[in-house]
Amino acid sequence: MAYQSFEDLEVWKRACRLAVEVTKAFSKSKDYIFKDQTIRAAVSIPSNIAEGYERDRRLDVIRFLRIAKGSAAELRTQCYLALKLDLLAGDKCQSFIQECKEISAMLQGLIRARSRTT
């Protein structure tokens, strides 16, 4: 299927679902600073994918995909910390970490594909 918009990208759809799940998981947290940073990292992933794909230049798309990938790594780190701080259950933490890893791999694939395009 040819690309038509960022909404067509499976990685964007998965990143949106992850952002919603993370937001729900931290909705009742009283640690407002940690909660805010974690949710921002989660929301940043699909937001940067969308912003990159709306750019006209290939290098801009790649740049924003890399930012999204960095946000996925940040979210993974927040999940590890949340586990150590007893802010997130172990199974939920591992689920989020695994999803971040898979999203990162998908983003890397898009980056490679875009890098080869002239």
Residues 88-99 have a mean pLDDT of 96
| Percent above pLDDT 70 for the chain | 95
Would you place residue 2 in the very low, low, confident or very high pLDDT band (cuts 50, 70, 90)?
low
pLDDT one-digit tens code per residue, 51-76: 999 987 899 999 999 999 999 999 99
Q: How far is CA 45 from CA 11, 22, 70, 116, in A?
A: 10, 12, 8, 23
For the cut 80, the answer to whether the pLDDT of residue 47 exceeds it is: yes
Q: Is the pLDDT of residue 41 over 60?
A: yes
Report pLDDT for 63. Answer: 97
Residue 1 clears pLDDT 50, i.e. is over it: no
In the chain, the percentage of residues whose pLDDT exceeds 90 is 89
Using alpha carbons only, give the angle 98, 109, 90 rounded to the nearest 5 degrees: 5
- Convert 87-105 into a string of H (helix), E (strand) and C (coil): CCCHHHHHHHHHHHHHHHH
For the domain bounded by 6-116, which CATH number is listed? Answer: 1.20.1440.60
